[in-house]
Chain A
Amino acid sequence: MIKLVAEMSLQELAAYVATHLKSRQLPVVLVGGSCVSIYSNNKYQTKDLDFVERYHNQRSLLRSALQDIGFIEQHRYFVHLDAHYFLEFPLGPLAVGDSPVNELNEVVTETGVVTLLTAQDCICDRLSAYYHWHDQQSLQQAIWVALAHPFDLAYVKSWSEREGMLAKFETFLDKLSSQQTK
């Protein structure tokens, strides 16, 4: 029996929506805070699921596909009467900072499969918000993911260098190591 939308966790709802959209030839990738939530074992909690359409932006097709599973567009968001989360589809391209995303991860749940940023790109994505918006919450989110998942530090460093943000990368490293020792 299919789980009710009202009973779905963030991960399950993301998988349910992504699987439905994929069946309509609308592949999407989960990005943003909901990835942090998944990779940090819910240390960070969010109410919105941000998806980027993988290749093209087809808002009208999206609207009609989501309507079939009970999501209605309200302003820039899609809401469902029973769901605990709402959906947002920021316009692509799928990128982390200045770089395109080439590698993705998949999470399988009983409600379907969701494609999402890898933990490493999730760290870079949060760092990008910290680097450019000076957002300390995003820095903490990057640290939570980094503490919970192995990642390639050299890659994150060279990516930070390409973003022109080596000084802030050092701050990330300092805070990461101080939280590792706690």
Chain B
Amino acid sequence: MLEPILGSISKERVLMYLYAREKGYAREIARTFNTGLTPIQKQLESLEVANIVYCEPQGRTLVYAFNPRYPFLKELKALLEKTLGYYPPEEQEALLMVRRRPRRQGKPL
């Protein structure tokens, strides 16, 4: 949906994912959109160079989130929020409806 503006479907996916979930890592984003890992990694790197996102290592994984100091963050999030409303319901649900609360270890399903 934002591809004509952003010039890349992978960039849209990365931004939408981080908007919906607040943070994420490349493999998880690629899996959510059922797409290749490399283009997602490339977009995460270019967004990090542009100071739009930042990353923090957690173990061996780089976890990305929006840079709270990015001066256009409020406006970017407003655009992403509006865009998400135009996504098909099942895609909205896939992005938003994820268990966030903790689950005790060893608990039977």
Chain B 17-71 residues near chain A, CB threshold 8 A: 49-51, 68-69, 71
Cα separation A133 to B50 with both chains bound (whole Å): 18
* B49 with A98: CB separation less than 8 A: no
Across the interface, which residues of B come within 8 angstroms of A95, CB to CB?
A: 71
Dominant SS among interface residues on chain B: loop
Cα separation A128 to B51 with both chains bound (whole Å): 14
For the complex formed, measure the closest distance between the CB of A32 and the CB atoms of chain B, giving whole angstroms: 12
Known interface pairs A76-B49, A91-B49, A91-B51. Does A100 touch B71 (Cβ–Cβ under 8 Å)? yes
- Is A97 interfacial (CB 8 A cutoff)? yes
For the complex formed, measure the closest distance between the CB of A123 and the CB atoms of chain B, giving whole angstroms: 15
Known A76-B49, A91-B51, A128-B69; further 10 A-B contacts with Cβ < 8 A = A91-B50, A93-B72, A95-B71, A97-B69, A98-B71, A98-B73, A98-B74, A100-B71, A129-B69, A133-B68
* B50 with A93: CB separation less than 8 A: no
Cα separation A132 to B74 with both chains bound (whole Å): 14
Cα separation A91 to B71 with both chains bound (whole Å): 12
Across the interface, which residues of B come within 8 angstroms of A76, CB to CB?
A: 49
* A90 with B51: CB separation less than 8 A: yes
For the complex formed, measure the closest distance between the CB of B45 and the CB atoms of chain A, giving whole angstroms: 11
Across the interface, which residues of B come within 8 angstroms of A98, CB to CB?
A: 71, 73-74
Residue of B nearest to A125 (CB): B69
Known interface pairs A76-B49, A91-B50. Does A132 touch B68 (Cβ–Cβ under 8 Å)? yes
Cα separation A129 to B49 with both chains bound (whole Å): 17
For the complex formed, measure the closest distance between the CB of B52 and the CB atoms of chain A, giving whole angstroms: 9
Chain A 88-106 residues near chain B, CB threshold 8 A: 90-91, 93, 95, 97-100
Closest 9 pairs between A and B when the two form their complex, measured CB to CB: A95-B71, A132-B68, A91-B50, A132-B69, A128-B69, A91-B51, A98-B71, A90-B51, A93-B71
Cα separation A90 to B72 with both chains bound (whole Å): 15
Residue of B nearest to A97 (CB): B69
Chain A 52-109 residues near chain B, CB threshold 8 A: 76, 90-91, 93, 95, 97-100
Cα separation A90 to B71 with both chains bound (whole Å): 13
Cα separation A99 to B69 with both chains bound (whole Å): 10
Across the interface, which residues of A come within 8 angstroms of B71, CB to CB?
A: 93, 95, 97-100
Across the interface, which residues of B come within 8 angstroms of A99, CB to CB?
A: 71
For the complex formed, measure the closest distance between the CB of B40 and the CB atoms of chain A, giving whole angstroms: 21
Q: List 21 A-B contacts (CB under 8 A).
A: A76-B49, A90-B51, A91-B49, A91-B50, A91-B51, A93-B71, A93-B72, A95-B71, A97-B69, A97-B71, A98-B71, A98-B73, A98-B74, A99-B71, A100-B71, A128-B69, A129-B69, A132-B68, A132-B69, A133-B68, A133-B69
